[in-house]
Amino acid sequence: MSHHNTTHVRTISDDITDITSQNPELCYQCGKCSAGCPMRNYMDDAPNVIVRYIQLGLFEKAMNSATIWLCAGCLTCSSRCPKNFDLAKFMDAVREVALRNGVKVKEKTILKFHKAFLKQIKNHGRSYEVGLVRDYKMATFDLFSDVENSPKMLLDGKLNIFPHNVKGKDKIKSIFEKTEVKKCK
Amino acid sequence: MQIGYYPGCSQEGTAKEYDKSLREVLKVLDVDPTEINDWSCCGATSAHVTSHKLSLALSARNLALAEKQGLKEIFAPCAACYNRLLTSKNELQEHPEQKYEIETIIEEKINNIPEIYNIVNFFQKIGKDKIAEKKKIDLKNFKAACYYGCLLVRPSGINSDDSEQPNSMEEIVKATGAQTIDWNFKLECCGAAHSIARQDIVVDLSKKILDDAIKHGANVIVVACPMCHSNLDMRQQNIKSKFSDFKEIPVLYLSEILGLALGFDKKQLGIDTHFIEFNLPVRNDVQEVSA
């Protein structure tokens, strides 16, 4: 067996660091982020625990958590961290890496919503609510919930029947093709 | 005053009244907004939670378009757009290698990214004196809870506001003659983009915010974000069906409360399209505003 101790084997932690430009080791686990997190009650692991998983190399645990999907990106943690660690950005990176690695996503409806939203942007350049709701409902097979508010919005002209297509639509599509994370379950 | 305008997708759809009221108010305040030509979505939550580069690139395209148009300053009335555009700006400026990569992706050069204002900062720039000068009606009986939500002042240092105890929106609202209340939930998250996929969470979080505003004596909530408005106004319908004792409260955009003080009526400002009916007397001498 040859020795490879001088060669650093890339890990998921390196991928996260590449995305966030910050070192996960910065976090000293004070837990202030979790104390102020508005989504903590709905999560499985506390937000600081996700950082701990990455620090310890327990990547699967981090990527399999519901927490990374429930994080609403409110930035309360990033604002309050005594080490100036941008935890919201870190959560973004863990999600992205989980998608790249084809991890089974715990909060499926949340991911389906994001995908349906991005599909409209990719196709039209701007958001298109009718298409978003259609695609989301098709993906979740949940056709009849949460429709009670739609008639009023239609009447008030807040749901556009047709999408607005930006002139640079092709450019938007090419931006997606160059940057989209494809592999995911 | 000239300013670049990045409306954001909601302004054309679910937040049409925000755009409508804003344009009316800016006219009175002698501001001439120039829309960024062919602007596209900033990427919103869905881009940054799935691909960092996609999120940077979608925002950067708009910043590049604004620069090409010669705009030195732009404002984004949606707090989420504001936050995404500014986050991208800061990242592109701090990481030259990333900027180069994004320029390649969007096939545009970025040199001087415009100054980016949120709506509160922009009204600060216009000045509360100007608002007071143009004011036609004193909104004396308004007790407003100014709701910042997450993305107007966070992360700390993003602008001059304090990220824990901001006061800039109160300053603007006071210029209408309204009182502002002191309350605990002005920065608590409403659940934001989880509104559709996890409505249960949004209903819980929004209820806490609304209850706290009412408890502290508010008779109206003022917001500066289409997502916040949709969760706090539209979702009151869902809150009511889950909690029978819930007391409703109207939610106005910052531009709408300013519009009322400048003499516009509810319809001109699109307030009649809200889910929770707004029926606070606008003049002190009348009990009900005529429809």
Residues A72 and A146 in one domain: no
Distance (Å) from the C-alpha of residue B255 to the closest C-alpha of chain A? Answer: 18
Residue ending a domain, among A100, A130, A146, is: A100
Q: CB B163 to CB A79 under 8 A? A: yes
Residue A5 resides in a domain: no
This complex has an ipTM of 0.93
Give A-chain residues touching B196 at CB under 8 angstroms. 113, 133, 136, 146
What domains are there in chain B, each with its CATH number? 2-119 (1.20.1050.140), 136-273 (3.40.50.11810)
Distance (Å) from the C-alpha of residue B86 to the closest C-alpha of chain A? Answer: 14
Distance (Å) from the C-alpha of residue A2 to the closest C-alpha of chain B? Answer: 36
Residue A4 resides in a domain: no
pLDDT value for B25: 98
Residues A95 and A112 in one domain: no
Split into its structural domains, chain A has a count of 2
Residue A166 resides in a domain: yes
As a whole number of angstroms, the longest Cα–Cα distance in chain A is 73
Residue A36 resides in a domain: yes
Q: How many CB atoms lie within 10 A of CB B143?
A: 17
Residues A55 and A86 in one domain: yes
Give A-chain residues touching B59 at CB under 8 angstroms. none
Residue ending a domain, among A80, A100, A120, is: A100
pLDDT in tens, chain B (291 residues): 999 999 999 999 999 999 999 999 999 999 999 999 999 999 999 999 999 999 999 999 999 999 999 999 999 999 999 999 999 999 999 999 999 999 999 999 999 999 999 999 999 999 999 999 999 999 999 999 999 999 999 999 999 999 999 999 999 999 999 999 999 999 999 998 999 999 999 999 999 999 999 999 999 999 999 999 999 999 999 999 999 999 999 999 999 999 999 999 999 999 999 999 999 988 754 444 444
Residue B31 Cα to chain centre, angstroms: 18
Residues A69 and A40 in one domain: yes
pLDDT value for B291: 41
Residue ending a domain, among A100, A132, A163, is: A100
Distance (Å) from the C-alpha of residue B94 to the closest C-alpha of chain A? Answer: 10
Domain that holds residue A162: 108-179
Residue A184 resides in a domain: no
Residues A91 and A118 in one domain: no
Residues A32 and A94 in one domain: yes
Q: CB A172 to CB B38 under 8 A? A: no
Residue A2 resides in a domain: no
Amino acid at B39: W
Q: Mind giving me the DSSP string for chain A?
A: ----TTSPPP-HHHHHHHHHSS-GGG-----HHHHT-TTGGG-SS-HHHHHHHHHHT-HHHHHT-SHHHH-----HHHHH-TT---HHHHHHHHHHHHHHTTPPPSSHHHHHHHHHHHHHHHHHSS--HHHHHHHHHHHHT--STT-TTHHHHHHTT-S-SSPPPPTTHHHHHHHHHHH------
User: Which residue stretches of chain A have pLDDT < 50?
Assistant: 1-2, 185
Residue A44 resides in a domain: yes
Q: Does A121 lie at the interface with B, CB-CB under 8 angstroms?
A: yes
Distance (Å) from the C-alpha of residue B100 to the closest C-alpha of chain A? Answer: 14
Q: Does A15 lie at the interface with B, CB-CB under 8 angstroms?
A: no
Q: How many CB atoms lie within 10 A of CB A134?
A: 14
* Of the candidates B173, B208, B160, B214, the residue with the CA atom closest to the CA atom of residue B187: B208
Tokens 């981090």 belong to A62
Residues A88 and A114 in one domain: no
Residues A148 and A71 in one domain: no
Residue A96 resides in a domain: yes
Residues A94 and A112 in one domain: no
Specify which residues B146 forms β-bridges with: B222
Alpha helices in chain B (DSSP H): 16-28, 44-48, 52-68, 79-94, 96-106, 119-126, 128-134, 168-174, 199-215, 226-229, 236-242, 254-261, 266-269
Give A-chain residues touching B46 at CB under 8 angstroms. 113-115, 117-118, 121
Q: CB B51 to CB A75 under 8 A? A: no
Residues A123 and A169 in one domain: yes
- Residue B125, Cβ density class (10 Å: 0-12 exposed, 13-18 middle, ≥19 buried): middle
Residues A90 and A140 in one domain: no
Q: CB B46 to CB A113 under 8 A? A: yes
Residues A75 and A121 in one domain: no
Give A-chain residues touching B49 at CB under 8 angstroms. 73, 91-92, 95-96, 114
